[in-house]
Amino acid sequence: MKTIRIFREIFFAGLILVFLLSLPYSTSAQDYPTKSITLYCAYVAGATTDITTRALATGAEKLLGVPIMVENKPGGNSTVCASLLASKKPDGYTLAVVPTGVIAQLPQIYKVSYSPFNAFTPLLQYSRYIGGLCVLSESPIKTIDEFIAYAKSRPGLTYGSPGMYSQQHLAVDLFAQCKGLHLKHVPYKGGAEAITAFLGKHTDFIAGSGSHIPYVRQGAFRLLMVYNATKRDPSYPDIPISRELGCEDYPADGLMVAGPKGLPDPIVKKLKDAFKTVAESPEFQKLLVQINLPYDYKDGADIDKEAPANYEWFNAFYKKIGLIK
Amino acid sequence: MGADRVSGLFWLVFGLICIYGSVLLELGTFREPGSGFFPFLAGCFFSLMAIIVLLRSLIPGRGFQAKLSSLWEGLNWHRPLAVGLLMLGYILALERAGFFLTSLILLFFMLKWLEKFPWWKALLIPLSASAFIYLLFHTLLKATLPMGILGI
Amino acid sequence: MDFFSSLMAGLSVACQPHNLLFCFLGVFIGTLIGVLPGIGPVATMSILLPMTYGISATTAIIMLAGIYYGAYYGGSTTSILVNIPGEAASVITCLDGYQMARQGRAGPALGIAAFGSFIAGTLGIIILQALAPPLVSVALKFGAPEYFSLMILGLIILIFLVEKSIIKALMMAGVGSFLGTVGLDTITGVARFSFDIPEFLDGLGIVPMAMGLFGIAEIFVNLEKTIQRQVISTKITRLLPSFRDWMESKWAIVRGSVVGFFLGILPGGGGVLASFVSYAVEKMSSGTPGKFGHGAIEGVAGPESANNAAASGGFIPLLTLGIPVGVVQAILLGALMMHGITPGPMLLKEHPDLFWGVIASMYVGNVMLLLLNLPLIGLWVRVLRVPYAILFPLILLFCLIGAYAINNSTVDVAIMLFFGALGYLMRKFEYEPAPFILAFVLSPMLETALRRSLIVSSGDFTIFLTRPISSGCLILAAVLLILAAHPAFRKRRRKMLEEAR
């Protein structure tokens, strides 16, 4: 008797559940935006990307008139965030700051839940990563040529990078192949971990991803070469870039604001205008200088245009280095 | 069937599945372990332990021999089950119906049906609790709570 | 002496009215977050981060830091009252703290946790001030092989935690280790057992898992009994620890502080490891190990002191070298950079007012926390007297929302529910959750350390023995292992099991 009663209760609860589940997700196309926007960040709180994301959010909030909540969704070299973004409704209330690589490159290496060209609406790119190869300042190696000579005489030098197949790892790898060096890659989870190990002298040099800059400025590290770049870093005009030394370089990933695929045009325009204004503002530019990120603007439509060519290039590249078959 | 026998069997089966899954990832070599190496070791280890538990359960007097039915003797197993199912429903409905509504309904069900509270209490407590949590998390701590169609 | 003069300088900064205000705000929010299960300092700090634009860097760090170590104070509250760990570092407090609450000793438990946290936090800051540079250089020496050996040591300690069947505990450790591999493999970049769920790529969340295994499982177990039977003794004996409680706990607090502080310096170490190790140390050095798990006050005093000391220790690498040992410190780092301050070896020289101001504010903050938390004990104890029929739905709701608020994801809530059910069944079938959690936390670090070491040494296993710190840990582990198998120890264990009956 009691059991029957319980089953009846469960039945009613189930009915209500069905009702709740059949409620639609809220949508509203007119008068965008009417409620708060969620802006995902593909990296942990406190990382340089996160700082820029929050700055963008704070600035755009004022222009759009609704709160923009930043949520960190780190992991998987930004694939976690990308996959999450791709699964959201294109109503303009969920956006993310992700590297441009999520469109063309990363899906080729990582198993992601979205298909490469059909997942995102890029809005704009505002910066890109540059990396640097550093040794400790106490090291006798003063220039990149000395480094090459040293590495040739001592095969098996170890270096840390923010992750397996990260741009930094691949750039150094390309460099090593080009100069005929045998270097051992030790993957870490993020730039900070790699730097910690490097400071403790557990690796011989480091493939910096941006977080090395404070240490270079303070004299703890010595920057020998810049990679992921097409021209010399204006703050370090004496340091050569990988290309000048005759080596193929891994093109830098950009940082972009994007939404899921299928974002309606009026919403896209509104968002682009807002974020562009913030990115060009003096406060934001000052922030970029402070955390040593270059300002590199690209419109979302251009990012989309370049995607197929990027895809082909990386496809060939990954095949060449044996990453994919 | 003794409790240990059941649990030992369960963990053994789970262990074999884990071992299989680990082998699918590369095992690599001893000097250069692959992705599956460590899970494989862990899986083998606890499967071995499961076998020991299982074998011990076959020896009378060793291990936890209580009969399955006796584990729940005299106890009301409906309540944890009902609560569990309610929580499952909550999880499914949360992001659609929004925090306020779902919490209200969850609490209401638990108070009214499980604990047989009178109507007014079963409504008042959820309302005040949900409102309190809303203020606490959303307004004070600025944590994001899922907003449903009602915008709350 | 230099020590005092810099401290005085720091205090003059920390005691400026706006710094005091933000310090209080920080520790208040921190306590709140610590008490609420699930939601942790990370979520709140990152949300408050942009709001710190308008205030000075020193004030911003004072507030954010306050949130962080304030959370450690509050985290023990739910562990003691309702067996729900507010965060991973409070898991161990559940073991004895909750039992104390059931015996009507919730007040002393909360009290000793608060006092222990205060003493440990303060001690930690003193050590930080005095020994920061040499400690950091020791911490830096910990490379992959050292971490590996340390983790082995940690896992061996697990054996000493076990209450009942060692075989079953080992099995739970094995399962925990296996589940620790779920997620993205750092070394190869391959996703393991993630079943295409993006949230799994970073591993299963420890906080929802712990909340489920301990808290939700406990609620399920309690639900089975009919309402008439009160599950928590309403006989409240006293609100604060007695003299006897103090006598029993004093060494636990000291030991916990030391253990916690050193483990907190290590990147990746943190409060979880510190609290577990402290518990094991207490159990091993106690004359009556049988009372652990049944309301031994040392089992609360030690771990709670340890995790607060770890919080203080975690600031050392950040302030001296600009290295974050965990996500929270990374946020602080970000805050500094946002204000144009580059943390690093030069921080002390370039911004002494910030450096000493923050340290001094930590002293102030700890005092504030003690004053905040003690009166609350009376409040919490009264909460326990609410009829369970009303209490448990509310607790469940807080857990559900708290779990969601960790990462704004229902996946975490689902994990909590799943492990809640699992924990319930585990209790029924007499399996222990503590070895599971410990193995789950340690194994990923162990594995990554092992594989990195092998990469660097090119497959040479002797690397673990040729490096001093690493071999030291391994030798210690071997000694403990022998001890565990030794007849004297087994006799002690039998005595312990009998005492428990």
| Identity of residue C26 | G
> Which of B7, B21, B94 is nearest residue C410 as measured by Cβ atoms?
B94
Pairing of strands A131-136, A221-227: antiparallel
Pairing of strands A254-260, A120-128: antiparallel
Does the beta-carbon distance from A77 to C186 stay under 8 Å?
Answer: no
Comparing CA positions, the residue from C327, C268, C323, C208 lying closest to residue C448 is C268
Q: What is the mean pLDDT of residues C409-437?
A: 89
Q: For residues C351 and C363, give the distance between their C-alpha atoms in angstroms, rounded to a whole number.
A: 19
Q: What is the mean pLDDT of residues C370-387?
A: 80
**Alpha carbons within 13 A on the beta-carbon side of C298:** 25
Answer whether A95's CB lies under 8 Å from A37's CB: yes
Mean pLDDT of chain C: 82
Q: Which residues of C touch A51 (CB under 8 A)?
A: 334, 337-338
Residue A87 pLDDT class (50, 70, 90 cuts)? confident
* DSSP string across A240-261: -BGGGGT---PPPPEEEEEEET
Q: For residues A96 and A39, give the distance between their C-alpha atoms in angstroms, rounded to a whole number.
A: 5
Comparing CA positions, the residue from C303, C403, C440 lying closest to residue C84 is C403
What angle (nearest 5°) sits at the alpha carbon of residue A94, between those of residues A92 and A99? 110
Does the beta-carbon distance from A69 to B144 stay under 8 Å?
Answer: yes
* DSSP string across B76-103: -THHHHHHHHHHHHHHHHHHHH-HHHHH
Residue C481 pLDDT class (50, 70, 90 cuts)? confident
User: Residue B17's pLDDT is what?
Assistant: 92
Q: What is the mean pLDDT of residues A131-159?
A: 90
Give the C-alpha distances (Å, rounded to integers) separating A118 from A93, A100, A121, A122, A262. Answer: 19, 14, 9, 11, 9
Give the containing element (helix H, strand E) for A38: strand A37-41
Read off the pLDDT of residues C212-227 as tens digits, 9 standing for 90 and up: 998 899 888 888 876 5
User: Residue B64's pLDDT is what?
Assistant: 66
CB contact burial A305-323 (16+ within 10 A = b; e otherwise): ebbeebbeebeebbeeeee
Residue A97 pLDDT class (50, 70, 90 cuts)? very high
Terminus-to-terminus CA distance in chain A, angstroms? 64
Q: How far is A154 from chain B (nearest CA, A)?
A: 22
**Which of A2-11, C329-338, C445-454 is predicted most confidently?**
C445-454
Answer whether C423's CB lies under 8 Å from C213's CB: yes
pTM: 0.84
Instruction: Provide Rg for chain A, Cα atoms.
Output: 23
Q: Which residues of B touch A24 (CB under 8 A)?
A: 149
Query: What share of chain A in percent tops pLDDT 70?
Result: 90
Query: A131-245: same fold as A37-128+253-320?
Result: yes
Task: Report the residue of chain B nearest A5, measured CA to CA.
Answer: B113
Please tell me if residue C226 touches chain A, with a CB cutoff of 8 Å: no
Q: How far is A290 from chain C (nearest CA, A)?
A: 6
Does the beta-carbon distance from A26 to B149 stay under 8 Å?
Answer: yes
Burial class (CB in 10 A: 0-12, 13-18, 19+), A272: middle
Read off the pLDDT of residues A285-311 as tens digits, 9 standing for 90 and up: 888 887 778 888 888 888 888 888 888
User: Residue A12's pLDDT is what?
Assistant: 66
Q: Is the predicted pLDDT of residue C489 greater than 50, yes or no?
A: yes
Q: For residues A224 and A144, give the distance between their C-alpha atoms in angstroms, rounded to a whole number.
A: 5
| Identity of residue C205 | G
For B135, other C-beta atoms within 10 Å of its C-beta total 11
Q: Is the predicted pLDDT of residue A15 greater than 80, yes or no?
A: no
Chain B residues contacting A, CB < 8 Å? 78, 82, 85-86, 89, 92-93, 96-97, 101-102, 105, 109, 113, 144, 147-149, 151
Distance of CA A282 to the CA centre of its chain: 23
For C348, other C-beta atoms within 10 Å of its C-beta total 16
Read off the pLDDT of residues A239-273 as tens digits, 9 standing for 90 and up: 888 888 888 887 788 889 999 988 888 889 989 99
Token pair recorded at residue C303:
């771990």
Task: Report the residue of chain A nearest C449, measured CA to CA.
Answer: A188
For A131-245, which CATH class? alpha beta
Q: Which residues of B touch A25 (CB under 8 A)?
A: 96, 149
Please tell me if residue C294 touches chain A, with a CB cutoff of 8 Å: no
User: Residue A325's pLDDT is what?
Assistant: 63
User: Residue B146's pLDDT is what?
Assistant: 66
Please tell me if residue A15 touches chain B, with a CB cutoff of 8 Å: no
**Alpha carbons within 13 A on the beta-carbon side of C185:** 25
Comparing CA positions, the residue from A213, A128, A214, A196 lying closest to residue A160 is A196
> Which of C39, C396, C447 is nearest residue B38 as measured by Cβ atoms?
C447
User: Residue A22's pLDDT is what?
Assistant: 62
Task: Report the residue of chain C nearest B37, measured CA to CA.
Answer: C447
Q: Which residues of B touch A6 (CB under 8 A)?
A: 78, 82
Q: Is the predicted pLDDT of residue B14 greater than 90, yes or no?
A: yes
| Higher-confidence position of C189 and A91 | A91
Terminus-to-terminus CA distance in chain C, angstroms? 56
User: Residue C427's pLDDT is what?
Assistant: 87
Q: What is the mean pLDDT of residues C356-368?
A: 85
Task: Report the residue of chain B nearest A18, measured CA to CA.
Answer: B93
User: Residue C317's pLDDT is what?
Assistant: 83
Q: Is the predicted pLDDT of residue C384 greater than 80, yes or no?
A: no
Task: Report the residue of chain C nearest B23, measured CA to CA.
Answer: C192
Residue B12 pLDDT class (50, 70, 90 cuts)? very high
CATH match of A37-128+253-320 with 3.40.190.150? yes
Does the beta-carbon distance from C330 to A45 stay under 8 Å?
Answer: yes
Q: For residues A118 and A262, give the distance between their C-alpha atoms in angstroms, rounded to a whole number.
A: 9
Does the beta-carbon distance from C177 to B31 stay under 8 Å?
Answer: no
Which residues face A86 on adjacent strands?
none
Q: Is the predicted pLDDT of residue B27 greater than 60, yes or no?
A: yes
Q: Is the predicted pLDDT of residue C281 greater than 60, yes or no?
A: yes
Q: For residues C28 and C92, give the distance between their C-alpha atoms in angstroms, rounded to a whole number.
A: 24
Q: Which of A4, A8, A20, A39 to mutate to test the interface with B (most CBs of B within 10 A)?
A: A20
Q: Which of C182, C197, C332, C333 to mutate to test the interface with A (most CBs of A within 10 A)?
A: C333
Please tell me if residue C460 touches chain A, with a CB cutoff of 8 Å: no
For C409, other C-beta atoms within 10 Å of its C-beta total 21
CB contact burial A150-163 (16+ within 10 A = b; e otherwise): bbeeeeebbbbbbb
> Which of C44, C219, C224 is nearest residue B75 as measured by Cβ atoms?
C224
Answer whether B103's CB lies under 8 Å from B134's CB: no
Which other chains touch chain B, taking contact as 3+ CB pairs less than 8 Å apart? A, C
Q: Is the predicted pLDDT of residue B152 greater than 50, yes or no?
A: no
Please tell me if residue A62 touches chain C, with a CB cutoff of 8 Å: no
Q: Provide the residue ranges of all domains of chain A, joining segments of one domain with +.
A: 37-128+253-320, 131-245
Handedness of CA B41, B44, B50, B53 (dihedral sign): negative
Number of domains in chain C: 1
Q: Which residues of A touch B151 (CB under 8 A)?
A: 26, 35
> Which of B86, B102, B151 is nearest residue A20 as measured by Cβ atoms?
B102
Size of interface B-C (CB pairs under 8 A): 174
Read off the pLDDT of residues B51-65 as tens digits, 9 standing for 90 and up: 988 888 887 766 666
Q: How far is B97 from chain A (nearest CA, A)?
A: 6
Please tell me if residue A18 touches chain B, with a CB cutoff of 8 Å: no
Read off the pLDDT of residues C133-186 as tens digits, 9 standing for 90 and up: 787 778 788 888 888 888 888 888 777 777 677 888 889 999 999 999 998 787
Q: Which residues of C touch A193 (CB under 8 A)?
A: 267
Q: For residues A222 and A220, give the distance between their C-alpha atoms in angstroms, rounded to a whole number.
A: 7
* DSSP string across B33-71: B-TTHHHHHHHHHHHHHHHHHHHHHHSTTSS---BHHHH
Residue C497 pLDDT class (50, 70, 90 cuts)? low
Please tell me if residue A10 touches chain B, with a CB cutoff of 8 Å: yes
Q: Which of B32, B105, B110 to mutate to test the interface with A (most CBs of A within 10 A)?
A: B105
Domain ranges, residue C246: 2-500
Which residues 158-177 on chain C approach chain A with CB closer than 8 angstroms?
none
Which residues 49-88 on chain A approach chain B with CB closer than 8 angstroms?
69, 71
**ipTM confidence score:** 0.89
Ranking A51-65, A162-176, B23-37, C15-29 by mean pLDDT, the lowest is: B23-37
User: Residue C229's pLDDT is what?
Assistant: 43
Token pair recorded at residue C479:
């000694």
Q: Which residues of A touch C321 (CB under 8 A)?
A: 199
